[in-house]
Structure 1
Amino acid sequence: MNLWGIDLGGTKIECVVLDKSSLQVVQRQRVPTEASLGYQHILGQIKKLIDIVSERAGERPTAIGFATPGVSEPATGLMKNCNTTCMNGQPMLQDLEATLQIPVRLANDANCFALAETRMGVGRDYPDAAVVFGVIMGTGVGGGLVVNKQIIKGQHGIAGEWGHNVLEEGGVLCYCGRRGCVEAVISGPALEKYYENESGDAVKLNEIVEKHLAGQDECATRAVNRLLENYGKALSTLINIIDPDLIIIGGGVGNIDLIYSEGYERIKKYVFNSGIFTTPVCKPALGDSAGVFGAALLWE
């Protein structure tokens, strides 16, 4: 039987069917999430998508994995920390199994990213990497931990959530209710807002980086240095605790090449190892496919 996975995003729901032996794509399809129409509508969109893919694949799933925003609280089975807020407090695993009438496994989308990149992506270039940390740095900041090719969820289902450690005491208010979280400092929107406050101009992050590289915009240079310094500081804390064999950076901020050169030096500055840091820090290989591939791998 093939492997089935769904990536449950805020704007789109994607389904993939992978050949179990080769992990090649058999079918792939998307539908809009339409989250504004509510939780029950999302469940309906999921069922609709599976029906479409089943017809095209000539089979129906006997089990399916989901990459979800947020996580299912182990103690209650209720969803939490979802930026698609209508999912919070809902027994999604139970509801999906009732709707689809098949076994379901859920994992946070950052965990699925880390698993897919370990098994199918850049991790294949590092076959001896037993401990892999997948970083998400985009609209939000999060992460996933994979050990011996298995997701580590943790006691509360929040393993890898480095984006909500406090980086700046009394800093900008984060949606989680705390101030100065990693996400409130070095996410894409946070960096753009910092530049706007400094310069009075609202521009995209890639333009800020270009202005910095051109050497003609002091506000852009301050914004980029803020990113690199806090990236090194925040990631070094992670490294001090986990000391992974491989780090993979996903999300739009991870497309900034300076992260892998000057940013790498900032990690060395802060890591608790006398300035020595040799862990590979890589861009992902799977693009925006990692979440849905990781969901399918939950049943592999």
Structure 2
Amino acid sequence: MKTTDANLWGIDLGGTKIECAVLNAAKPSEVLIRERIDTEAGQGYEHILARVKILVDIVSSKLGQRPTHIGFATPGVLNPRTQTMKNCNTVCMNDQPMAKDLAQILACEVKLANDANCFALAETLLGVVQEVNPSAEMVFGIIMGTGVGGGLVAHGKVVQGLHGIGGEWGHNILEEGGTPCYCGKAGCVEHVISGPALEQFYFNQTGESKRMPEIMRLYAAKSDPVAEATVERMLENFGRAVSTLINVIDPDVIVVGGGLGNIDLLYTEGYDRIRKYIFNSREVLTPIVKPKLGDSAGVFGAAMLFA
């Protein structure tokens, strides 16, 4: 079996599934193969590494070639100083030299990036940014769902940052004295406008558990004042939080992924709230758009780490 760098290999290393995609390096929009297997993360770090190798072996066998390099979208980040993982919600990966271990078991070069950064990279190079502003120099990718995160791409490259935390938008304080966060602070963006945080706000007011789609239906029907307060909380704090991104980075495009990114109000009323906080005489020009690639973004972005 030949070893070649003619294609771009990416792996999205999730807590539940591991997915591999191989793209044509000459035409990255062309997907040669996609395969996924269960992560089985509950069996520990060494088992996850073994599962990655199994997947790469399967794909290599089907393609008749082995990679010289693979990009990985990971649920945390590689600490540039220690070369060990941190901030992983698949906690057995934390403090592990994952880049070194993967390179060793796969016998090829690897690059690791946070899954939100891979999302931003894929949407920049292959996704919606190519339609909105293909010459964009700075793109920020927002993830709003179970958690809140972000990824930053500059001149077509992921910005990892000195500490490896470039784009970690979800762990800035948005609400003083708010809900304690696992990161050690309280009132982080993630604990104000994530799906679970908004659902908890509704529960605290009513004693009833409702998911965001139901809260949005109640809001639209104008039949529930607490649903209206919950959506108002989301819109106002979305505007405040995004304004800080624009004030500091001033990106050419912002892409909003995750489950809450499907809420159309974010792009109308939420967009209008930015005007209250932006340091630009209330003028906002930044396109804020939905992604194009869906759940392909992570694995495509991982492959594009070597583009």
TM-score (norm 2): 0.96
The 5 A counterparts of 1:121-136 are 121-125=127-131, 126-136=133-143
Please say if 1:35 is aligned against 2:41: yes
> 2 CA distance for matches of 1:238 and 1:123?
17
Kindly provide the CA deviation profile for residues 127-185 of structure 1, in whole angstroms up to 9, marking residues without a partner as x. Answer: 12111111111111111111111111111011110100011111111121211000011
Please say if 1:120 is aligned against 2:126: yes
Please say if 1:5 is aligned against 2:10: yes
Other-structure match for 2:258: 251
Matched residue type, 2:234: L
> 2 CA distance for matches of 1:140 and 1:61?
33
Structure 2 residues not aligned, in runs of 5+: 1-5
Matched residue type, 1:20: A
> 1 CA distance for matches of 2:63 and 2:211?
40
Matched residue type, 1:235: V
> 1 CA distance for matches of 2:25 and 2:149?
29
The 5 A counterparts of 1:83-232 are 83-125=89-131, 126-232=133-239
Cα RMSD for the two superposed structures: 0.8
Please say if 1:279 is aligned against 2:286: yes
Other-structure match for 1:14: 19
> 2 CA distance for matches of 1:271 and 1:32?
44
Other-structure match for 2:3: none
> 1 CA distance for matches of 2:235 and 2:255?
16
Q: Secondary structure at the match of 1:106?
A: strand
> 1 CA distance for matches of 2:213 and 2:59?
36
Please say if 1:49 is aligned against 2:59: no
Q: Structure 1 stretches (4+) deviating beyond 4 angstroms?
A: none
> 2 CA distance for matches of 1:31 and 1:66?
15
Q: Secondary structure at the match of 2:292?
A: coil
Matched residue type, 1:84: T
Once the two structures are TM-superposed, the CA of residue 233 in structure 1 deviates from its matched residue by 0.4
Q: Secondary structure at the match of 2:303?
A: helix
Kindly provide the CA deviation profile for residues 14-53 of structure 1, in whole angstroms up to 9, marking residues without a partner as x. Answer: 1000011111110001111111111111001100111111
> 1 CA distance for matches of 2:303 and 2:166?
20
Other-structure match for 1:298: 305
Other-structure match for 2:273: 266
Q: Secondary structure at the match of 1:201?
A: coil
Q: Secondary structure at the match of 1:293?
A: helix
Kindly provide the CA deviation profile for residues 41-85 of structure 1, in whole angstroms up to 9, marking residues without a partner as x. Answer: 100110011111111122111110000111000001010011111
> 2 CA distance for matches of 1:198 and 1:112?
37
Structure 1 residues not aligned, in runs of 5+: none
Paired residues, what number? Answer: 300
> 1 CA distance for matches of 2:42 and 2:24?
34
Once the two structures are TM-superposed, the CA of residue 275 in structure 1 deviates from its matched residue by 0.7
- What is the aligned-residue identity percentage? 62
TM-score (norm 1): 0.99
Q: Secondary structure at the match of 2:275?
A: helix
Q: Secondary structure at the match of 1:297?
A: helix
> When you count strand as a share of all residues, which structure comes out higher?
2
> 1 CA distance for matches of 2:68 and 2:160?
24
> 1 CA distance for matches of 2:217 and 2:279?
32
> 1 CA distance for matches of 2:259 and 2:64?
36
Other-structure match for 1:239: 246
Matched residue type, 1:22: K
